[in-house]
Amino acid sequence: MASFQKYTTQQGQKWMFKMDVGINPETGQRKTTTRRNFRTKKEAQVAASKLEQEIASGLFLQNDSLTFKEVFNQWYENHSKTIKVSTKKRIESMFNKHILPRFGKLKIKDITRPYCQEMINDIAHSIASVNDIKIQANQVFKYAIKMDILLKNPLDHVTIPKQAKELVHESSDREERNYWKKEEIKKFLTITNQELSLRDHVLFHLLIYTGARKGELLALTWDDIDFEAGSLRLSKTLFYSQGQHLFQTSKTKDSKRLISLSTQTLSLLKKWQIQQKEENLAWGNRNKDDIVFTRDEGTPLRSAYLNEKLNIIIKKHTLHRITIHGLRHTHASLLFEAGASIKEVQERLGHSDIKMTMNIYTHVTDHLKEQTAEKFHRYLEL
């Protein structure tokens, strides 16, 4: 049974009610809820009647005072035990930078769909990975429903606005293209051969000729390379966390793969292996883990090292600007130009879903589009 009371605020007279909502399952004690800010007693009575119906039907949630951060802490305590250290670091950063500052102090039951849409719109203005942020926040809301903390997910039906660049039909080649064409690759590798150390030249060569991820190449050990079979095993990645270099297995079974190497690539690797052995003999065995690419003192290369080298070369020689990941795009585009199938590209790049290969890479090679009409003409002439 509810009790009603009138009270005074700066905005004038308001009504509130108190109601016994039953036993709190966490404490075993009876719990009272208070609802305020009603303009009239009638409004308060209608709200109290609705709440009584929720209690009678079992829809009332006892944990209605929990903040988003408190629910996040519950969820993450369990979730963090199922993921890798590198994934933990990424998720914690995402929550601490973007989600908890906007949601953390709010009672989770008070977070509305309009507020979620406003938050997503705000993030989308400056952050390209807004979809990842939505996915992570969504996991907390789903957990809240699972634990009977919420009845509905306020992120349901919240949409991600298109980035400004997506709304432009076609931007310039320099703005959109994150891959190199064949002649650009030849020029770049000529530069790396002339200006960089053999180690760095081989690294960039592998990025382009294998399509491997940067972390996969930095984690390579010499037993991953089979010179006789001409193959490279990619099964682990390297990342840096809290002052340590850590190796972890690839995140999916498709990421673990064996790919073929060209004769030229094998020759470069053998040349680097010989040079590294000579350096180890001269300076003592500083590479006890037998890592393929290390610093002079034998420790793994920094993850950002290749990004920095690439940017220096691009700026110095006024090359078309791409990212390290763009070298992976480059490998895929050239595979398509060389006649490789979608399935072959998927397997070589280690994509778990063929849609990823199709969505990201089938549009990257303008040359393929130019060939379409010519192929059709040649077919009709046969």
Q: What domains are defined for the chain?
A: 3-57 (no CATH), 68-167 (1.10.150.130), 176-373 (1.10.443.10)
- The Cα–Cα gap between 96 and 109 comes to 21
Beta bridge partners of 22: 31
Average pLDDT over every residue of 329-351? 82
- The Cα–Cα gap between 62 and 30 comes to 11
Residue 288: how many CB atoms within 10 A of its CB? Answer: 8
Torsion angle of C-alpha atoms 66, 67, 73, 78, degrees rounded to 10:
50
Of 153-162, 230-239, 281-290, 306-315, which has the strongest mean pLDDT? 306-315
Residue of 208, 211, 205 lying closest to 181 (CA atoms):
208
Average pLDDT over every residue of 338-364? 73
Contact status, residue 296 vs residue 280, Cβ threshold 8 Å = no
pLDDT band at residue 174 under the 50/70/90 scheme:
very low
Output the pLDDT for position 153.
93
Contacts of 139 (CB under 8 A, 6+ apart): 75, 79
The H or E element spanning position 5 is strand 3-9
- The Cα–Cα gap between 52 and 215 comes to 57
- The Cα–Cα gap between 49 and 70 comes to 30
Stated length of the chain: 382
- The three-state secondary structure class of 237 is strand
In the chain, which ranges are continuous DSSP H helix? 41-57, 68-79, 85-94, 100-103, 113-124, 130-146, 164-167, 173-176, 182-195, 198-210, 214-218, 263-283, 305-317, 324-337, 342-349, 354-361, 366-381
Output the pLDDT for position 167.
41
pTM: 0.58
Residue 67: how many CB atoms within 10 A of its CB? Answer: 18
Per residue in 79-111, pLDDT tens?
988 887 778 888 998 999 999 999 999 989 889
Q: What is the mean pLDDT of the chain?
A: 82
pLDDT band at residue 172 under the 50/70/90 scheme:
very low
Output the pLDDT for position 364.
55
